[in-house]
Amino acid sequence: MNILEVDGYKAKIEYDADSDQFRGEILGLNGSADFYGKSLATLRKEFKKSLKVYLEVCEEKGISPTKEYSGKFNLRVPPGLHSEIAARATGENKSINQWVVETLKNSVSS
C-alpha cells in the first residue's frame, strides 16, 4: 500500500486507470475526502486543498474530523497460531496482549 502523509494526516494512494491519474483517499476521517493528481507534487498540493476543505466543513458543522478509536478490537486466529503466540509471549514473560501490541508496533514502525 502506498501512503502519503501531509500535516499528520495519511492518505492511501492508488492509480486510477479511468482518469489516468493517481487517486488519494485521506484515512481515519469521520467522512471521506479524496484528491487526484498526475505527479507527486500535484498529489501533495491537492491533498492539502482537500484536507483544508474537509476540515472547514467539519468546523462549520461542529463535528470531529477524525474517527475516535477505542484501542480495542477482536482478532480471530487459527488455534495453532494462537498457541505459537502464547508460547512466544510466555517465553518473553509477557501477556499475549503485551506481546501482540509490541509485535504490531514493530510491524507498523518499520
For the chain, 110 residues long, give each residue's pLDDT as a single digit of tens: 699 999 999 999 999 999 999 999 999 999 999 999 999 999 999 999 999 999 999 999 999 999 999 999 999 999 999 999 999 999 999 999 999 999 999 998 86
Q: Is residue 72 part of a domain?
A: no
52 and 83 inside one domain:
no
pLDDT of residue 37: 95
pLDDT of residue 109: 83
Its domain, for residue 13, covers 2-61
Residues 45 and 83 both lie in one domain = no
Q: Could you tell me if 57 and 83 lie in one domain?
A: no
* pLDDT value of residue 18: 92
CA pair distance 53, 46, nearest whole angstrom: 11
Is residue 100 located within the same domain as residue 54?
Answer: no
**Alpha carbon 39 to chain centroid, angstroms:** 22
Pair 35, 50: CB distance under 8 Å: yes
Residues 55 and 11 reside in one and the same domain: yes
In the chain, how many domains are there?
Answer: 2
**What pLDDT score does 110 carry?**
64
- Collapsed DSSP state (helix, strand, coil) of residue 61: helix
Kindly state whether residues 100 and 50 are assigned to the same domain. no
